[in-house]
Structure 1
């Protein structure tokens, strides 16, 4: 009897680890599979094609269609782009434009979000819906409207400046007749208008995101700071901003990515790729690839460089988030 009990116990002991072995739940992976397939087909495969094209000399449509062999040039396209002084000018334009737009978009969006938080529920919903119309408007449609506003003959801005007294207009701007004035010809003025268009289109998302984050901040903390004598500015920097730091971090990264790859607004306002003094990386890549004579390999290498810059920006932010989580 004791031998039977021992043998039974030994067999049970041998079976216990197998029975207690955790089972892998494959359901989450199966649910993610369609999304991963779509991402791979629509994003990773085209990105791989662009990376591959950047290592070849492609200067005709026949080569792209496979009618002619692709000449391998290795990193020659990257060396040509990085060694071109014009690329450094384009990179400077892109960085300065993105920095200015991120700062202005974040400031305006945060101010609007704080104001929406002070309104009643119904009024805040109404105002937020109106503000989101700018975000919902397609970039092409909105830019066409702004281009009409600055039209040199029938635009609203031209009409307003013509309504100024001649003496005042001449004293301030050196001219009294603004009909025919090229608002998009001067690079500084062009970038100013482009910044206005991009900020107008981007700040509603920031405002609504900040408003959503403010709803999660305990009102007791803000009230306690006010009781201690803190003003609105002090309450924001000591209570609100630390609580919304993760939200602001995500919004800064998203804004940086969007502003680095602005293309539609610039292409429409500039009327194409003729004015190289206002080039940024996205339109520079397009111009090199599709302007005659086409240089698809050079255009692809510029696109890869832009992608790497954005990956570095995203990687820095992810590292900062992980470091904050480790410290907390």
Structure 2
């Protein structure tokens, strides 16, 4: 009986080409993810990218109110004139300094208070921790306009609760003259109230995030540290912080981005554009673009471009940290 012998192809012979139908199927599988994210990408491009492109274009033109009309003149191209005026203006550098300092204080206070409250919630019984967390989230969910109005009423001259309480305290403790003291004229008291409002509204998010992160850390690590005689600070520094470093990095970047864009709270507290000593970048953008006489959309766009670059720099630094830590592929 004859036997059939299969001859293996030589090593240098090319592999047979896959069938055409199989090639088309693989191509569809490869392009499927891009087709699925295409609607979201198009929506983001229309909602986010196009306004950014317009903002950059306006910053290089003399775009004002007279150019808004359909029959109005075409905005004149002025190259880097807005940026040259901006970078040579001492007022801009003062506003930028105020923005950086206030943002650093707001972010630092929010992170510290939120982390401490999150650790406290982790040590409380579950029912009490849930009750306190729900109460805190009410502050976080309060609209910025409402929270700012409440704090403005608290610090009003003469009839504000804070002034009334300070006026009734002994003079040797807090001094005198609090009945008519105006908290909203000078930068230091106004920024103090602004920081208080922002921290009051922002720390619940940090606390709940830290609490969720602490729930994921095995309790055996803290028990081992306690057996070794480590203090609470050393346990936080050697266990909590390394385990939650990606979470802290994300929250930190989000807080920087949010606090750099603070506008509503300052708008309500300052209540005018007369005192330029209390301007922040977001407030300066609105003043130049909408409240100046006449409104200068080109200069407002140039300031917005500068603030956008600051935010992008913070975001790029965060992405770089995540890549180094292996969180992003």
Tell me the TM-score normalised to structure 2 length: 0.90
The CA deviation at 1:186 is 1.7
Distance 1:112 1:34 in 2: 41
Equivalent residue for 1:144, pick from 120, 142, 149 = 149
The CA deviation at 1:247 is 0.4
Conserved? CA contact 1:151–1:158, under 8 Å = yes
1:68 matched residue in structure 2: 73
1:93 matched residue in structure 2: 98
Tell me how many residue pairs correspond in the alignment: 320
Q: 1:83/1:17 Cα in 2 relative to 1: closer, same or farther (>3 Å)?
A: farther
In structure 1, the gaps of 5 or more residues are none
The CA deviation at 1:35 is 2.1
The CA deviation at 1:181 is 1.6
Residue 180 of structure 1 aligns to a residue whose secondary structure is coil
Q: Does 1:117 align with 2:119?
A: no
Show CA shifts across 1:129-150 (max 9, x none).
1001111001111101111111
Show CA shifts across 1:103-142 (max 9, x none).
1000000001001111122221111110011110011111
Distance 2:228 2:174 in 1: 50
Distance 1:27 1:121 in 2: 45
Conserved? CA contact 2:249–2:318, under 8 Å = yes
1:15 matched residue in structure 2: 17
Q: 1:31/1:121 Cα in 2 relative to 1: closer, same or farther (>3 Å)?
A: farther
Q: Does 1:311 align with 2:312?
A: yes
2:257 matched residue in structure 1: 257
Alignment of 1:33-112 (within 5 A): 33-59=38-64, 61-66=65-70, 67-112=72-117
Of 304-313 and 150-159, the range deviating more from structure 2: 150-159
1:285 matched residue in structure 2: 285
Tell me the TM-score normalised to structure 1 length: 0.90
Conserved? CA contact 1:222–1:240, under 8 Å = no
The CA deviation at 1:173 is 4.5
Distance 1:146 1:23 in 2: 60
Distance 2:173 2:69 in 1: 57
Distance 2:44 2:21 in 1: 38
Show CA shifts across 1:146-167 (max 9, x none).
1111111321101211222xxx
The CA deviation at 1:63 is 0.4
Distance 1:253 1:211 in 2: 18
Q: 1:72/1:148 Cα in 2 relative to 1: closer, same or farther (>3 Å)?
A: same
The CA deviation at 1:65 is 3.2
Alignment of 1:168-179 (within 5 A): 168-169=170-171, 171-175=172-176, 177-179=177-179
Conserved? CA contact 1:102–1:252, under 8 Å = yes
Distance 1:89 1:24 in 2: 56
Distance 1:52 1:23 in 2: 39
Q: Does 1:184 align with 2:190?
A: no
The CA deviation at 1:20 is 6.7
The CA deviation at 1:98 is 0.7
Distance 1:113 1:211 in 2: 5
The CA deviation at 1:324 is 2.1
The CA deviation at 1:19 is 7.2
